Structure 1
Amino acid sequence: MRSFKNLSILFIAAAVISCKKGNSVQADAKSQTTDASTTSTSLSATVTNPIIVYTTLADGSKKLLKEANINYNTTITTNPVITVTTDASHQYQTMDGIGLALTGSAAYTLKTSIPSATNRATLFTELFTTSGINLNVLRITIGCSDFSTTPYTYDDMPAGQTNGSLSNFNLLVQDDVNYVIPILKEILAINPNIYIIATPWSPPAWMKRSGTLNGTSSSLADSTQNGILTGYYSVYAKYLVKYLQGMEAQGIHINAITPQNEPRTLSSNYPTTYLGPSSEASFVTTYLKPEIDNAGLSTKILCGDNNWSGSSYHTSFMQNGNARAAVAGTAYHGYGGTPDVMTTMHNLYPTKEVHYTEFSGNVNDSFSSVLASMAANDICESAGNWAQTIVDWNLALDGSSLPNIKGSSSSRPVMVITSAGAITRNADYYVLGHAAKTMRVGAKRINTTDITSSSISNVGFINPDGWKTLVVTNTGTTAKAVDVKLGTQKFTYTIAAKAVNTFNWQ
C-alpha cells in the first residue's frame, strides 16, 4: 500500500539555481525573516511576488535559504502536476507541531557546551520561534533513557528494598535537576507554547521482576523477567502522576504521556522494560487513566510508542474497547516497517490521534545522502499518513554522539555541539525547518496529488490564518520541473536532485 494513500501529500524537493557558498545557518535564518515580505509572524504581509520559496541543496550550498519570490504563470508545459486543494472537504489532521527530543544528554550538551545563558537564548530563539525554524514540540524522558548521563529514576532504592508508599520520590535529581528542567525552562521562556510529550524507559528497579533498570537480555523470551510486577501497577501509576504534578509545580505542563518507550524493545545496555499490549491496556485502563483524572490533570495518554515494524502492538491495544477509550491515540517510531501503518490505524479509529514521536539517522551518513530521503520519509510520508506531531530524536550531542549510557552510539543528533561551543547543524535541522518554519500550530494538512512513478514527494498544509505551505523533495538524481496548480493558477519550479523546497503563499 502506498504510504500516501488517501492523503495526497505534497513535497517537492528543493532544486534550484546555484548560489554562493558559505551561508551560515544563522545568517540564513535571519535572511529569511528580514525580507519585507516575511516580517509578519502570522505570514500575512502583502508580497510583491506571491510565492515565497526556501531551498536546501544536497551539496549544502543553500541551506533553508530564502530565494527570490516567484510568480504564477500561464505557460503550457508537459511537466508533472501537483494539484493543491484547500477547501474544508479536503483538509485532514490538525498539526500539533514539529520538533525533537530534549534528552538528558541533549540538555547536558546544551548547558555545558554553551555555558552562557545569553548564547543559549540566541540558539533557542533560532530553534523555537518564527524568526528561526519555528519548532514547537519537545519529547522528554521520565527519568533516564539510553541518552542520559547516568541511570536513575525518581525513587531509587538500595538492592532488595522497596518503597510502595513512594515516600522517597524526588523529581529533582540527576539530569532532571541539573540539565533538563533548567534548559526546558529557558526554552519555555522563549516559546511558552511548546507541546511536550513525556516517556519513561523504566520504572524504579524495585518495581520490576529483574530488579534492574536495564533489561537482563535482549531476547523476548526473557520478556517476563524484564517486565513490571503486576502488584506494582497501581504504585507505578501514582509514580507517573507524581512526575506530572512535579513538572506542573515547576511551571512545565506535559501535554501527552506514553506508558513505555518501545515496550517490546529489550536491551542489557540501557534501561528498557517489557510491557505487552494487553498489559499496557490493563495498566492504562485500570490504573494510569484513573490516577490522571483523579489528579485533575489534562495530560493525554498515547499508547504504543513503538516502531512502525511493531504496529501489531498498537492494533492489539486498540482492539480493547476500554483501553481505546482511555487513550487519545497512538504513537509510532520510524524504525522498520512503513508509515502507512499509521493510515491503517486512522482508518480503523478515525477519531483517535496519530503521533510520530521518534526517528533518528546514522551519524556516519553524509548530509547529501540523507537530506531528501529524510524529507520524504519523515515529513512527507509521516504527515501524509496522519501524524499530527513529527519528532526527531536528540536535539544535540557532541561529535561522538555522547554522552549516553550505552557508551557508544551511531545515533545522529539534530545538532553537534563541541565542548568549545561550535555548532554543526545536520540535515535533520534543515528537514525539520522546511516543514516547521512556515507551518503554524493548528494548521491542517491539505489535499495534494501524488506524482506517481516519480522521485517527487510532497505534503501541504493550510495555517489558521489561511497561508499555505507546500514542502517538496526530489529523491532522484536529476533535477525535475514541476507545475503546482492552485485552483485556476499555477506556478512552475525546478526541483534540484536530492533537494528540498518549501513554498509559502496566501
Structure 2
Amino acid sequence: MARFGTAALTALVLVVAPVPAAAHPRDATAQVWLTSPDGAYKMTDAGTVALGPAAETATPTIVVDPNRRFQTMTGFGASITDSSAAVLYRLDPGQRSQVMAELFGRDRLNFLRQPIGASDFTDEPAYTYDDVPAGQTDYALRHFSVAHDKTQILPLLRQAARLNPELKVLGTPWSPPAWMKTNGSLIGGRLIDNPAIYRAFAGYLLKFVQAYKAEGVRVDYLTIQNEPQNRNPSGYPGMDLPSWQEAKVIEQLGPMLRANHLNTKILGYDHNWNEHPNDAANTPPDETADIDHYPQELLASPAARWVDGTAYHCYAGDPSAMTALHNEFPAKDIYFTECSGSQSGDPANTFSDTLKWHARNLIIGNTRNWAKSVVNWNLALDPANGPHTGGCGTCTGVVTVGDQGQVTYNAEFYTLGHMARFVRPGAVRVASTSFGTTGWNGQVMDVAFVNPNGETVLVAHNENDNPQAVAVRLGDRQFSYTLPGGALATFIWRGHSDDRPIAPTGWTATASPASATDVPANAVDDDASTRFSTGAAQQPGQYLQVDFGRTLRPERIVFDTGASTGDYPRGYTIQASRDGQTWWAAPTAGTGQFSTGNLNGRQTRYVRISVTGESGSWWSVADVRAYAR
C-alpha cells in the first residue's frame, strides 16, 4: 500500500487527479482511490497494491465472484433544481464552467433528476409549465411552455451533456398545474378523479418530454409524482397520489409516449424505501393497502405493462425494501432517485457524518439491493442550504457556492465520485461477500462491479473508526489493504475467474447446536454480515447441514466464517449425499476462514460439515457458496 508524508498528502488533496487509463499490468496490481472522514484523503490516488496468489490469511477476506451477476448500472448524479441553477449562475461564466467540468467531467456524474416545474428548492414563487388564472382550465394545454427553464436550467443541462455524453435525465413533477387538483393549489390536495384530468396530466408530461427534446435535452425517464405519499408538504408543491390514481395516469401516458415514438421510460412510486410513519398515519382508510406496499400495488395493476421500474428515496426505511420488491417482480428494474445530505448538529462533523452514512446506505447499500442508479438531491446550494421554499432547511448540496464565488466540494461529491468515476454505464454488479451493514456493525462493507471493458471495481467502506485490514480475492488471485477508520475506497483491477458460483436460491440449513439468534438459516441467506453460530465452545459432532432443495452437480462447496475469522472449525469433515441417506466423504482443504469440500461434480443435494476438534471458540459460518464444474 502506498503511504504518504504530510507534505505529500497535502499536495495530493488540493487537486483531484483525473481518472487515468489502466496502466497496471493485467493481474499484477489494483489501483486504489481513497476518501477519509477527516478529509485528509479526498478521492486521493493512493497508488497500487500487488495482486498475488490466493492464500490463507488471518485477515478477513472478501470474495468477488464475477460470474454471478445482478443488475446493469445506469448512473450516478443529483438534480439541477431551481436553487442549484440560481447559485451556479452567481458564478462568473468561466468559474461556472470550471465547476461543471469538475462535476460532469472529472467526477463523471451522468444522471440528473430534474423537477418538472417548481420543487421546494426554488428562489421564486412556485410554478408549473401550464399555470392559468384561478377558476380557469387548459385541457388542450395551449398555455404549456418551458420558457422558464431556458435562462438557466436548460443551458446547464446541455452543458452537462456536452461534458458527459453518457448523461441520463429523469423528469419528476412535484405538482401538476393547480387547475388539475382538488384544492386548486400547487401545495397539497389530490388529482381530480376524472378521465379528462388523467389525460390532461399525461399530456402535460408528454409535452415536457417533447419540449425538452426540442431544446436539445433528451428525457430518458419519467416518474408521475415526487413522493406521492407526502400528503402535507410544508409550504412547497406536492400532492397525494394513491397508487390507483398513478395507475390511471400511466395508462394514459404509456400509449402517448409510444404513439409519439418516444423511448422515455416510466418509473413508478418515487418515494421512500418504506412509508414514513407520519405519512402512514394520514392514509385514508380505504387506501391502507398502499402502506409499505405502494410499488407492489402499482406493479400488480394493468398499468404495470407501461412501467419499466420503481424509483426510491432514502428518508424512511432501509435499502432492503428494494430487494424485497425485486424478489416479487424480478423483471422490473429498480432506481434510487433522491437522498439529500444533511448538515450535522455540529457543522464541523457534516463531512464525516455524510461520508459514512452515504457510503453505507446509498453508495453500497443501494447498489447491493438492486438499484441501477444512485442520485443525490441538490447539485449545488448556498452556505445557508438554500435558497428554498418550505421543506428542508438543513439539506446540503453536492457542492456549496458562497456569495463571493467560493466553491466547496462536499462529501456527496466524493461519495458519488467513488462510483461515477469508475463504474461505467453498462457495468454489471457482481457477487461479493460483504461484512458490514447499512445500520452499522463496525465491519467492512463492499460492492463489486465488472465494467464493459472487463475491469473489476470494488467499492469498500470501513465502518469502524479504527483502521481495518481486509483481503480481496478473485479466483486464484488476491490482494490486501488496510483501510483507514471510516474510509471509503475504490479498487480497480483487471482479473479473471473461471469460478461458476451457484445462486443459493431455495437453500435451507439445519445445525446442532445452534445459537438462538445466529440461526442456521443465516449461513445460506446470501449475506455475509449475518452468520450461523453454535453459541458454544467447539466439540466433536457439532454440524451444519445444507439442503440445496434440488440435486446439483457442484465442483466444490465453501463454508466461510466471514469477518469472524477466529471461529473456524478446529478439525472438520465434509460429507455429501444425494438422498440424505447415503453419505460419502469429500476431500477437504482450508484451516481458516474457508473450509472447502471437493464434491467433484457428483450428484448432490445435501452437504454436511462436522467438527472433529475442540476449542473454547465458537464455530461460525457466515456464508456457504457452491461452485459448478
TM-score (norm. length: structure 1): 0.88
Question: In the alignment, is the contact (CA less than 8 A) between 1:79 and 1:483 conserved in 2?
Answer: yes
SS at match of 1:309: coil
| CA-CA distance at 1:451 after TM superposition | 2.2
SS at match of 1:366: helix
In structure 2, what is the Cα distance between the partners aligned to 1:254 and 1:45?
Answer: 38
| CA-CA distance at 1:409 after TM superposition | 1.1
- Name the structure 2 match of 1:11: none
Going from structure 1 to structure 2, the CA distance change for 1:330 and 1:16 (only over 3 Å counts) comes to: farther
Q: Choose which of 52, 70, 91 in structure 1 pairs with 2:49.
A: 70
In structure 1, what is the Cα distance between the partners aligned to 2:121 and 2:81?
Answer: 6
Q: Which is helix-richer, 1 or 2? A: 1
In structure 1, what is the Cα distance between the partners aligned to 2:121 and 2:2?
Answer: 36
In structure 2, what is the Cα distance between the partners aligned to 1:201 and 1:164?
Answer: 19
Question: In the alignment, is the contact (CA less than 8 A) between 1:81 and 1:483 conserved in 2?
Answer: yes
Q: Which amino acid aligns with 1:269?
A: G
In structure 2, what is the Cα distance between the partners aligned to 1:416 and 1:359?
Answer: 16
Q: Which amino acid aligns with 1:170?
A: S
In structure 2, what is the Cα distance between the partners aligned to 1:455 and 1:18?
Answer: 27
Q: Choose which of 162, 166, 172 in structure 1 pairs with 2:137.
A: 162
Q: Choose which of 340, 351, 373 in structure 2 pairs with 1:360.
A: 340
1:79-118 alignment runs, 5 A limit: 79-87=59-67, 90-112=68-90, 114-116=91-93, 118=94
1:158-190: CA deviation from partner (whole Å, max 9, x where unpaired): 1112112211111112xx122111111111122
1:82-137: CA deviation from partner (whole Å, max 9, x where unpaired): 001112xx01100001111111111111112x221x332322222223xx121111
Q: Which amino acid aligns with 2:157?
A: L
1:236-251 alignment runs, 5 A limit: 236-251=201-216
- Name the structure 2 match of 1:331: 311
In structure 2, what is the Cα distance between the partners aligned to 1:263 and 1:426?
Answer: 29
In structure 2, what is the Cα distance between the partners aligned to 1:236 and 1:313?
Answer: 20
Q: Which amino acid aligns with 2:71?
A: Q
Q: Choose which of 93, 96, 115 in structure 2 pairs with 1:120.
A: 96
- Name the structure 1 match of 2:571: none
In structure 1, what is the Cα distance between the partners aligned to 2:444 and 2:391?
Answer: 39
Q: Choose which of 273, 281, 294 in structure 1 pairs with 2:259.
A: 294
| CA-CA distance at 1:279 after TM superposition | 1.0
| CA-CA distance at 1:485 after TM superposition | 0.7
In structure 2, what is the Cα distance between the partners aligned to 1:346 and 1:182?
Answer: 37
Q: Which has the higher contact order (CA 8 A, sep 6+)?
A: 1
1:136-170: CA deviation from partner (whole Å, max 9, x where unpaired): 11111101111122211111111112112211111
Question: In the alignment, is the contact (CA less than 8 A) between 2:34 and 2:488 conserved in 1?
Answer: yes
Q: Choose which of 150, 156, 159 in structure 2 pairs with 1:186.
A: 159
Question: In the alignment, is the contact (CA less than 8 A) between 2:295 and 2:310 conserved in 1?
Answer: yes
Aligned length: 465
Q: Which is strand-richer, 1 or 2? A: 2
1:211-245: CA deviation from partner (whole Å, max 9, x where unpaired): 11112xxxxxxxxx433443411111111111110
In structure 1, what is the Cα distance between the partners aligned to 2:11 and 2:300?
Answer: 52
Question: In the alignment, is the contact (CA less than 8 A) between 2:271 and 2:312 conserved in 1?
Answer: yes
| CA-CA distance at 1:22 after TM superposition | 4.0
1:371-382 alignment runs, 5 A limit: 371-382=355-366
- Name the structure 2 match of 1:28: 15
- Name the structure 1 match of 2:117: 143
Question: In the alignment, is the contact (CA less than 8 A) between 2:383 and 2:400 conserved in 1?
Answer: yes
- Name the structure 1 match of 2:478: 490
In structure 1, what is the Cα distance between the partners aligned to 2:2 and 2:187?
Answer: 46
1:42-67: CA deviation from partner (whole Å, max 9, x where unpaired): x4765796210001111111100001
Q: Choose which of 406, 420, 424 in structure 2 pairs with 1:436.
A: 420
In structure 2, what is the Cα distance between the partners aligned to 1:203 and 1:426?
Answer: 33
Question: In the alignment, is the contact (CA less than 8 A) between 1:134 and 1:433 conserved in 2?
Answer: yes
Going from structure 1 to structure 2, the CA distance change for 1:496 and 1:228 (only over 3 Å counts) comes to: farther
In structure 1, what is the Cα distance between the partners aligned to 2:52 and 2:174?
Answer: 53
Going from structure 1 to structure 2, the CA distance change for 1:318 and 1:18 (only over 3 Å counts) comes to: farther
Question: In the alignment, is the contact (CA less than 8 A) between 1:228 and 1:273 conserved in 2?
Answer: no
Q: Which amino acid aligns with 2:296?
A: T
Q: Which amino acid aligns with 2:123?
A: T
In structure 1, what is the Cα distance between the partners aligned to 2:307 and 2:391?
Answer: 35
- Name the structure 2 match of 1:501: 489
In structure 2, what is the Cα distance between the partners aligned to 1:276 and 1:420?
Answer: 45
Question: In the alignment, is the contact (CA less than 8 A) between 1:15 and 1:497 conserved in 2?
Answer: no
Matched, 1:317 2:291: no
| CA-CA distance at 1:408 after TM superposition | 6.4
- Name the structure 2 match of 1:226: 190
Going from structure 1 to structure 2, the CA distance change for 1:291 and 1:15 (only over 3 Å counts) comes to: farther
Uncovered stretches (5+) of structure 1, i.e. residues with no partner: 1-13, 216-224
- Name the structure 1 match of 2:542: none
Q: Which amino acid aligns with 2:98?
A: T
| CA-CA distance at 1:203 after TM superposition | 0.8
In structure 2, what is the Cα distance between the partners aligned to 1:471 and 1:414?
Answer: 20
Question: In the alignment, is the contact (CA less than 8 A) between 1:28 and 1:63 conserved in 2?
Answer: no
- Name the structure 2 match of 1:8: none
SS at match of 2:425: coil
Going from structure 1 to structure 2, the CA distance change for 1:433 and 1:441 (only over 3 Å counts) comes to: same
Going from structure 1 to structure 2, the CA distance change for 1:407 and 1:309 (only over 3 Å counts) comes to: closer
SS at match of 2:58: coil
In structure 2, what is the Cα distance between the partners aligned to 1:101 and 1:15?
Answer: 36
| CA-CA distance at 1:209 after TM superposition | 0.9
In structure 1, what is the Cα distance between the partners aligned to 2:3 and 2:352?
Answer: 15
- Name the structure 1 match of 2:180: 207
In structure 2, what is the Cα distance between the partners aligned to 1:44 and 1:444?
Answer: 22
| CA-CA distance at 1:268 after TM superposition | 4.2
In structure 1, what is the Cα distance between the partners aligned to 2:110 and 2:11?
Answer: 25
Question: In the alignment, is the contact (CA less than 8 A) between 1:305 and 1:332 conserved in 2?
Answer: yes
Question: In the alignment, is the contact (CA less than 8 A) between 2:35 and 2:44 conserved in 1?
Answer: yes
| CA-CA distance at 1:501 after TM superposition | 0.8
Uncovered stretches (5+) of structure 2, i.e. residues with no partner: 276-291, 495-629
In structure 2, what is the Cα distance between the partners aligned to 1:24 and 1:155?
Answer: 50
- Name the structure 1 match of 2:443: 455
- Name the structure 2 match of 1:7: none
Q: Which amino acid aligns with 2:171?
A: A
- Name the structure 2 match of 1:306: 271
Matched, 1:133 2:116: no
Question: In the alignment, is the contact (CA less than 8 A) between 2:233 and 2:391 conserved in 1?
Answer: no
Going from structure 1 to structure 2, the CA distance change for 1:316 and 1:257 (only over 3 Å counts) comes to: same
| CA-CA distance at 1:24 after TM superposition | 7.3
Question: In the alignment, is the contact (CA less than 8 A) between 1:98 and 1:136 conserved in 2?
Answer: yes
| CA-CA distance at 1:394 after TM superposition | 0.4
Question: In the alignment, is the contact (CA less than 8 A) between 1:15 and 1:499 conserved in 2?
Answer: no
1:41-56 alignment runs, 5 A limit: 43=22, 46=25, 50-56=29-35
Question: In the alignment, is the contact (CA less than 8 A) between 1:23 and 1:61 conserved in 2?
Answer: no
